[in-house]
Amino acid sequence: MALSVSSSESRNDGGGGGGGEAIEGIDAFPRFDVVSDDSDHHFLATNKNAGCFTNASSGVHKKITQEWRILGKHLPESIFVRVFERRIDLLRAVIIGAAGTPYHDGLFFFDIAFPPDYPSRPPMVHYRSFGYRINPNLYANGKVCLSLINTWVGKKTEKWNPKESTVLQLLLSIQGLVLNEKPYFNEPGNVAWPGRFWEKKSAAYNEDAFLLSCRTMMLLIKRPPKNFEGFVMKYFRDRSSFILSACKAYKNGSAKIGYYNRQCESSPCASEKFKKLMKQLYPELVGAFSRTGASLGNFVEQVNVGKKTATPASENQARPKHKVGGVLGKLLNFLGLKKMVS
C-alpha cells in the first residue's frame, strides 16, 4: 500500500534485465529526448492554461529545464525519458525491471506532470497499469503511493524537499525501492521477520507479480505508449528469448523467481498454482513475442509439440458415444439399461 523513501536515498546501479548484463539492442534509442506527440499522456488536460510553463523567464520554467539537464546527463541505462516540446510540464519515463526481482526484463511506464508551483510541490505521477496491481505501491488505477511525492505519510526527511528532491531521484526510488526483490514487504504490516511463514508469503506475492508483469508485456506489445512504439518492439524482440527461458525455468521448478540463471537451492522453487498458470501463459507470451519479429524457432516448436501431445481430460470425453434407438432403445430404457450401453 505504501512506502516511505528518504529524500537522500536512491539507487543508480542501473539494474538491467536478465543477469544484470548490458541491455542489448536499445543503444540507438536515446535515454533522454524531446518529442512532440503528447496526445496520450495521462495528464494532458492538467495545467493547460498555466502561463508559467510557456514563460521562459519564470522560476518554474527554469527549474524544469534544469531537471531536463540532470536527466540528460545522469539517467542510468535502464531508464528512458521523453519530454515534450509544447508541454514542458509533462514527462514520460520507462523503467526496466532489474535482475533479481519479479519485475526483471519488464517495462514499466510512468506519466509525470509538474505542478504550476514546482518545486514547492512534488510532481504528479501516474503508473500505466493496464488495470493490474503489480506492487503494493502501484495501484490498478495508476496511483503511485510513495512518501517522496507526498502520497504516503512519512518522516520529514522521507518527503519531498523543494531544495533537494529531483525527478531523477524519484525515478531511481521507484526502480530500486518499489520494484524491488521482495515487494510483499512494501505493504505496511508485512514485516520481514525471519521465518518460513513470511518468506512463503513473499514468494507467493513474487509469483503473482511476475505473472502480471508478463501480462503487462503482452499488452505493451499490443498498445505501446506513444513515442516508445519502436523501443517497445525492439526491446522485446531482443529480450524475448531471455524472458521465455526464465518462464520455462520457473514453470519447470528449476529456478526461483527473479533468478532464472541460478539453480534453485530451496524446494519447492514455485507453487503448483504458479506452475499451472505459467504453463497456460507461456504459449501466449511466445505468440506475443513472435509478433515483434523475434527469432523464436525453438520456443514455438516447444509450444507446438506441447499442443500435439496434449491428452483429453478423460477417456469418456474423447470416446464417441453410440446411440441406441428404435424398439431396442425403448426396451433398454424401460429396463434401465440404456445408460450402460450408450
Annotated active-site residue 214? The verdict is no
| Residue that has been written with the C-alpha cell 518527503 in this structure | 159
Pick the more confident residue, 34 or 266. Answer: 34
Average pLDDT, stretch 244-273?
A: 85
Type of residue found at 190 = N
Measure the CA–CA gap between 138 and 141, rounded to whole angstroms.
8
Average pLDDT, stretch 328-342?
A: 48
Q: What angle do CA 311, 317, 321 make, to 5 degrees?
A: 135
pLDDT for the residue numbered 305: 58
Average pLDDT, stretch 83-103?
A: 97
Average pLDDT, stretch 266-295?
A: 92
Cα 28 from chain centre: 23
Confidence of residue 39 (pLDDT cuts 50, 70, 90): very high
pLDDT at 315 over 70: no
In a 13 Å sphere around the CA of 223, the CA atoms on its Cβ side amount to 8
Q: What angle do CA 215, 313, 279 make, to 5 degrees?
A: 25
Q: Which of 174, 176, 105 is nearest to 144 (CA)?
A: 174
pLDDT for the residue numbered 248: 93
DSSP states of 101-112: STTTT-EEEEEE
pLDDT at 262 over 90: no
pLDDT at 125 over 90: yes
Average pLDDT, stretch 153-173?
A: 89
Class of residue 108 by CB neighbours under 10 A (exposed 0-12, middle 13-18, buried 19+): buried
Helix (H) or strand (E) holding 32: strand 32-35
Strand (E) positions, 122-219? Answer: 124-127
State the CB neighbour count (10 A cutoff) for residue 118.
22
Strand (E) positions, the chain? Answer: 32-35, 79-84, 90-96, 107-113, 124-127
pLDDT at 25 over 90: no
Pick the more confident residue, 82 or 264. Answer: 82
pLDDT for the residue numbered 9: 39
pLDDT for the residue numbered 261: 76
Q: Torsions phi, psi of 313, nearest 5?
A: -60, -35
Class of residue 180 by CB neighbours under 10 A (exposed 0-12, middle 13-18, buried 19+): buried
Q: Where are the alpha helices (DSSP H) in 58-166?
A: 59-74
Q: Which of 3-7, 46-50, 242-246 has the highest mean pLDDT?
A: 242-246
pLDDT at 64 over 70: yes
| Residue that has been written with the C-alpha cell 534509442 in this structure | 29
pLDDT for the residue numbered 268: 72
pLDDT at 260 over 90: no
pLDDT at 98 over 50: yes
Confidence of residue 198 (pLDDT cuts 50, 70, 90): confident
Return the C-alpha cell found at 126.
501516474
Mean pLDDT check: name the lowest of 102-116, 137-151, 252-266: 252-266
Question: Using alpha carbons only, how large is the chain's radius of gyration in Å?
Answer: 25
Can you give the pTM of this predicted structure?
0.83
pLDDT at 213 over 80: yes
State the CB neighbour count (10 A cutoff) for residue 148.
28
3-class DSSP state for residue 82?
A: strand
Average pLDDT, stretch 109-127?
A: 97
Return the C-alpha cell found at 35.
518529442
pLDDT at 161 over 60: yes
Measure the CA–CA gap between 287 and 284, rounded to whole angstroms.
5
Catalytic hit among 145, 214, 247, 264: 145
pLDDT at 4 over 70: no
Confidence of residue 337 (pLDDT cuts 50, 70, 90): very low
| Residue that has been written with the C-alpha cell 543477469 in this structure | 19
Average pLDDT, stretch 271-294?
A: 95
pLDDT at 13 over 70: no
Average pLDDT, stretch 256-281?
A: 85
Mean pLDDT check: name the lowest of 20-24, 48-52, 227-231: 20-24
Average pLDDT, stretch 113-138?
A: 97
Cβ–Cβ < 8 Å for 88, 35: no
Cβ–Cβ < 8 Å for 257, 206: yes
Pairing of strands 124-127, 107-113: antiparallel
